Amino acid sequence: MSPIKYVLLDCDNTLCLSERLAFEACADLTNEIMEKKGLPERYTTDSLLEDFVGQNFRGMCLGLQKKHNFTMAPEELESYVGQELDRVTQKLAQKCQPCPGAPEKLEWLKQQGYPMSVVSTSAKSRVLASLVKTDQMKYFTDEHVYSAATSLNPPSSKPDPKIYLYACEQLGVKPEECVTVEDSRSGATAAMRAGIPLIGYVGVYGIEEGKEKMDQMAKILTEQCKADVIMYDWKEFPECLKKIEESMK
């Protein structure tokens, strides 16, 4: 019997190629905010990804305020969060694709009998749109899709580990009895802070940005976020999982 009681999975750029689509959708809105605040800076999809990858839009807005020294009233923030969610969810429902190899390994996990859950920093409606469009929602139940933006009160965002701790509490398992897969520094940091064994997935960087970025992220996830093993392609997942299981015995 495996010592792993639950496999916890990030969604954006781990199961689904959703991060770039989402940042494309929110770039215009971010620049509308900057213009309204009288600030000259403007963001592209790439510059938003560079500064805020792995964060939800609420966390991004908080980061923008800190970086550019402006404030938002709570009701203003909530309005922008709602607008961004609508734009992103619509785009993901239309265009999202799975990370190569992820659906096959979810099927493998199901056949092997591993319980699975999604633990994301993004709003739940956005996560569900991605999973449904990529035909991966069939591997999860709605109540086992957890969102730092939706499931928590008040909402949070990785690298805060609260969503992982909340998921473990709801699932009735200890963090150290699980394993998770994360692609970003913020997500991996949340897993590390929660005490959950971590597979760092960097294959998406090779797909979208090239080998140099992929190797850079492998180093970051290993050295800064203490990833137990690095996964370059989803076909490596069974072997990565086996390594973690052996270390837990």
Does the pLDDT at position 169 exceed 90?
A: yes
If DSSP codes are grouped into helix, strand and coil, which group holds residue 60?
Answer: helix
196/234 same-domain check? yes
DSSP string covering 139-158: GS-GGGEEETTTTSSS---T
68/139 same-domain check? no
| Structure confidence by residue, pLDDT tens digits, 27-46 | 989 999 999 999 999 999 99
Contact 88, 25 (CB under 8 A): yes
Average pLDDT of the chain is: 95
Count of domains observed in the chain: 2
If DSSP codes are grouped into helix, strand and coil, which group holds residue 161?
Answer: coil
Q: Is the residue at 1 inside a domain?
A: no
What is residue 249's predicted lDDT score, i.e. its pLDDT?
A: 83
Contact 181, 10 (CB under 8 A): yes
What is residue 185's predicted lDDT score, i.e. its pLDDT?
A: 94
Question: 34 lies in which domain range?
Answer: 19-95
Choose the final residue of a domain: 55, 72, 95.
Answer: 95
| Structure confidence by residue, pLDDT tens digits, 45-66 | 999 988 887 787 888 899 999 9
More confident residue, 56 or 68: 68
The count of other CB atoms within 10 Å of the CB of residue 27 is 18
| Structure confidence by residue, pLDDT tens digits, 69-84 | 999 999 999 999 999 9
C-alpha span between 165 and 174 (Å, rounded): 9
C-alpha angle 165-170-176 in degrees, rounded to nearest 5 = 45
| Structure confidence by residue, pLDDT tens digits, 105-116 | 999 999 999 999
Q: Looking only at Cα atoms, what is the longest distance across the chain?
A: 60
Band (pLDDT 50/70/90 cuts) for residue 93 is: very high
Report how far Cα 214 is from the mean position of its chain's Cα atoms: 17
What is residue 1's predicted lDDT score, i.e. its pLDDT?
A: 82
Question: Strand ranges (DSSP E) for 22-152?
Answer: 116-120, 145-147
Q: Is the residue at 116 inside a domain?
A: yes
What is residue 172's predicted lDDT score, i.e. its pLDDT?
A: 98
106/183 same-domain check? yes
85/204 same-domain check? no
Contacts for 1 with CB less than 8 Å, ≥ 6 apart:
none
Q: Check: pTM over 0.85? Answer yes or no.
A: yes
How far, in Å, are 24, 63, 86 from residue 69 at the CA level? 24, 10, 27
What is residue 154's predicted lDDT score, i.e. its pLDDT?
A: 93
C-alpha span between 134 and 140 (Å, rounded): 13
Choose the final residue of a domain: 44, 76, 95.
Answer: 95
And the tokens for 35? 């213009």
Does the pLDDT at position 97 exceed 90?
A: yes
Q: Is the residue at 106 inside a domain?
A: yes
C-alpha span between 47 and 179 (Å, rounded): 31
